[in-house]
Structure 1
């Protein structure tokens, strides 16, 4: 019973807050900007997130394809936890070693146009997985080709940290480094 009058009094004072000290109406303040719409995430097939190894296989499958093939961003995003980060390590021929830490969306904005020019990333060796309960570290060497059967253009390694949320595995962190493939010596 006591709360009702307090609420009514608060509501009665609300219009007064819209008046200036001189009793003139104040202009309404613009509403705060809407929260950004979260990017679309697809549902994954049961096997695509069933293990850290499955995440790696799905990642290679989702980003690989011929020139002109659109990549399914919703499927790629669905592999990564909402707070995942990407680290790109490298060695620039003129500037030396570097490390670039990127949120997932800016990384995808940079990488997808490159992938869509023809990009096939495959494991170059079996991944090494270190797992303890709901955490896993995956180390997977890879080779990149511009066409499915073409020569290796780049080699490198992916280091993924993965976590189990009780229902599925997620990529929580991806670090990688690539280098131009060295052509084999001529006989």
Structure 2
């Protein structure tokens, strides 16, 4: 069942047309917009990370606010679960937000799922940030606790923070979280401005 859960949580996104467009430097941009974000969700790194965990969490039967989730991600953002396949080789999946919602959304609502941050390491320079966020998650209907690292890239466009990508791997087999990514060791931040 744990492998089914990990597989389900590692699934897909496609951003629909809505209201808010982030900046682009592409000379031939594709116009993709996302729902407007609640200002409190995107005003700081702390706020957007908290919103990211909050939006997928809830008891069994509780609908998730998928437009809120979409509003956190820049158009074209990626969600990339990594792990060991059945044959022993390491791989990853490259998903968009709507892919993840389509593949995991029903399971999260049906079984109930809660995920929260245990510890964090943040690096920031100017308008970009990289957050190594140690997480713990569990299905309401199962005793298994899932822990791992979310590697989150963020952009501040001068108005708000955007999630650019989430790349994660859960503990498995002999791969366990090292002490320096656990509470009391990982809560550090380094910042530099241009």
In the superposition, the TM-score normalised over structure 2's length comes to 0.67
> In the alignment, what sits opposite 1:135?
128
SS of the aligned residue for 2:170 comes to strand
**Quick check: 1:88–1:99 contact (8 Å CA) kept in 2?**
yes
Q: Report the count of equivalent residues.
A: 145
Cα distance in structure 1, aligned partners of 2:61 and 2:77: 27
Instruction: Considering Cα pairs closer than 8 Å and 6+ residues apart, tell me whether 1 or 2 has the greater RCO.
Output: 2
> In the alignment, what sits opposite 1:68?
61
Q: Please point out which of 133, 153, 161 is paired with 2:153.
A: 161
- The structure number with the bigger radius of gyration is 1
Gaps (5+ residues) in structure 1? Answer: 1-35, 183-187
Deviation at 1:68, TM superposition (A): 1.1
Cα distance in structure 2, aligned partners of 1:98 and 1:52: 29
Structure-to-structure mapping, 1:23-172, within 5 angstroms: 38=17, 41-116=34-109, 117-125=111-119, 127-147=120-140, 151-172=143-164
In the superposition, the TM-score normalised over structure 1's length comes to 0.69
**Quick check: 2:18–2:35 contact (8 Å CA) kept in 1?**
no
Runs of 4+, deviation exceeding 6 Å: none
Cα distance in structure 1, aligned partners of 2:135 and 2:75: 25
CA RMSD of aligned residues (A): 2.4
